[in-house]
Structure 1
Amino acid sequence: RRRLRVIDSTCPLVTKVHLETKQAATRGYDVLLVGHRGHDETVGTLGEAPDQTRVVEDAGEVAALGEIERPVFVVTQTTLSMDDTAGVIDEIRDRYPAAEIRNDICYATTNRQHAARSIAARADLVLVVGSRNSSNSVRLREVAEDAGATAYLVDGIEDIDPAWYEGVEVVGLTSGASVPDELLDPIIEDLRGRGVTKVEPVVLTEEDVEFRLPDGLAT
């Protein structure tokens, strides 16, 4: 044995969804998990109570569900779009009025989606920095597009095509919840080099939530 130390750095908000699912199943509920099949978070949550949990991706899938005899408990993948989730939750309420519903979308994801919508309403082009396998980054691009802006998802400055800036007067810049500033700063500096003279931060909500460090890291 190598005696390696294991540190659980799972997001506490994701852990909360796991616990809610496990506890609901223990209490005799059938669980509806609103999320994307195959997404790592959804797979993990499903594993807490696979025999009592069904994944639903959209309102159509909820409408196609048969009668559920046991009480219904609802949890959500934390990185979903607020708009997409709202439609599914509304359908669940219509089908199962007594359902116990937890809306577990991450506060950071929610705040960024609000900000992306605000930015997109004022910008010609929105750049979203984040990985293509990051659900919340993908949703940010979709939110910006739905708000009327041209939007691209990029891993960093190396993915940006300068041709995107042609005819653009206002550029919006946002990022996925876990993207470090080190990936945004070069883009801002590049924009300054292209003649941008005003950089305006958009803060709609001050985030003051703090989580304790995982066991093994706290001092």
Structure 2
Amino acid sequence: MGLTVIEAEYAGACYGVQRALNMADDTIKQAIPITSLGPLIHNPIVVAKYEQAGISIAEAVSDIKTKSVLVRSHGITPKVREQIDDAGLSVVDATCPYVLRAQKAAQRLGTEHDMLVIVGEKGHPEVDALEAYGMLSGTTVMVVSCADELPDTLSEVVGVVVQTTQTFDALEDVLEGIRERGSEADLAHTICRATRQRQEAASELSRRVDAMVVIGGRNSANTTRLAEICTSEGAKTFHIESWEELRPEWLEGCETVGVTAGASTPQYQIDEVVDTLRGF
């Protein structure tokens, strides 16, 4: 008898990612020469396919050779947007609407408070943009992933905005840290619904299977967090980017395996993994 393979109730490409992919597809269909400013999404396999289809990638506005630019789903800083305008480029803006909402919240909270805390992964493009929007008014902005990274002294009221793909546990840890320092948090709830659904579904499934396979780019923050959640629930967990990485020996002694996928993973990649597992 083979493995019983169970897919998480919520997994794979979220609205924001699917919207970005659809916009990229439209530019290809219209034969518009365009350059993506950074990888469109954090999925190397998908990004490579779009490169083969003609969407080149540039890491800086000054490197763009086409007349049109595709803004990645993670968004860009105000400075980069200004550079695009100055260069006279036509813009296809694939910034996730939930990321845009978080950017507006960061700008608002930065204006209203002396201190803004961003709960997120420092150096992630989405967080870089949130940080930049928060700093527009000159307020003090800090990026933390846990309460231990907070300074000992905070302002009386602290604005808090959250990377859209963060875990609720990380957010609650930081909020508790703010309270312990005698401060009040003015929180913008910017973790998106799709993130919450995927995290809760992965957590629930992990508790009733022997192993979990998590599909998505290793450079994907939300996929990495899904893998961490599965591991924390006690499931033997494997983070892969493609079905080709799967090995039968990983699952020796396992009767049930769960499958989930990050928000940058299209359904066809999930199907490939499920079909491969069912063949073991």
Q: How does 1:2-81 map to 2 (within 5 A)?
A: 3-4=67-68, 5-50=90-135, 51-52=138-139, 53-62=141-150, 64-68=151-155, 71-81=157-167
Amino acid at match of 2:164: T
Q: In the TM superposition, what whole-angstrom CA distance separates every residue of 1:21-48 from its partner, at most 9, and x where no partner exists? A: 1122223442111111111111111111
Q: What amino acid maps onto 1:123 in structure 2?
A: V
CA RMSD of aligned residues (A): 1.8
In the alignment, which residue of structure 1 is the partner of 2:59? none
Q: Which letter does structure 2 place at the counterpart of 1:7? A: V
Partner of 1:140: 226
Q: Which residue does the alignment assign to 2:44?
A: none
- What does 1:123-138 align with in structure 2 at a 5 Å threshold? 123-138=209-224
In the superposition, the TM-score normalised over structure 2's length comes to 0.64
1:95/1:143 Cα in 2 relative to 1: closer, same or farther (>3 Å)? same
| 1:126-205 correspondence to structure 2 within 5 Å | 126-194=212-280
- SS for the counterpart of 1:54 is strand
TM-score computed with the length of structure 1 as normaliser: 0.81
- The alignment of Structure 1 onto Structure 2 pairs a total of residues equal to 192
Which deviates more, 125-134 or 42-51?
Answer: 42-51
| Structure with greater proportional helix content | 2
Q: Please report how far the alpha carbon of residue 183 of structure 1 lies from its aligned counterpart in structure 2 after TM superposition.
A: 0.3
Quick one: distance in 1 between partners of 2:182 and 2:262? 33
Matches within 5 A, 1:207-218: none
CA contact (8 A) 1:72 1:96 kept: no
Deviates more, 1:48-57 or 1:31-40: 48-57
Q: Distance in 2 between matches of 1:129 and 1:94?
A: 37
1:82 aligned residue = 168
Cα deviation per residue 1:77-118 (whole Å; 9 max; x = unaligned)? Answer: 111122222111221233244321123112111111111111
How far did 1:175 drift? Answer: 0.2
- In structure 1, the gaps of 5 or more residues are 195-219
Whether the 8 Å CA contact 2:217–2:240 is kept in 1: the answer is: yes
1:187 corresponds to which letter in structure 2? V
Matching of residues 100-119 of structure 1 within 5 Å: 100-119=186-205
Q: Tell which has more relative contact order, 1 or 2 (C-alpha 8 A, sep 6+).
A: 2
Identity of aligned residues (%): 35
Unaligned runs of 5+ in 2: 1-64, 69-89
Greater strand proportion: 2
SS in 1 for 2:129: helix
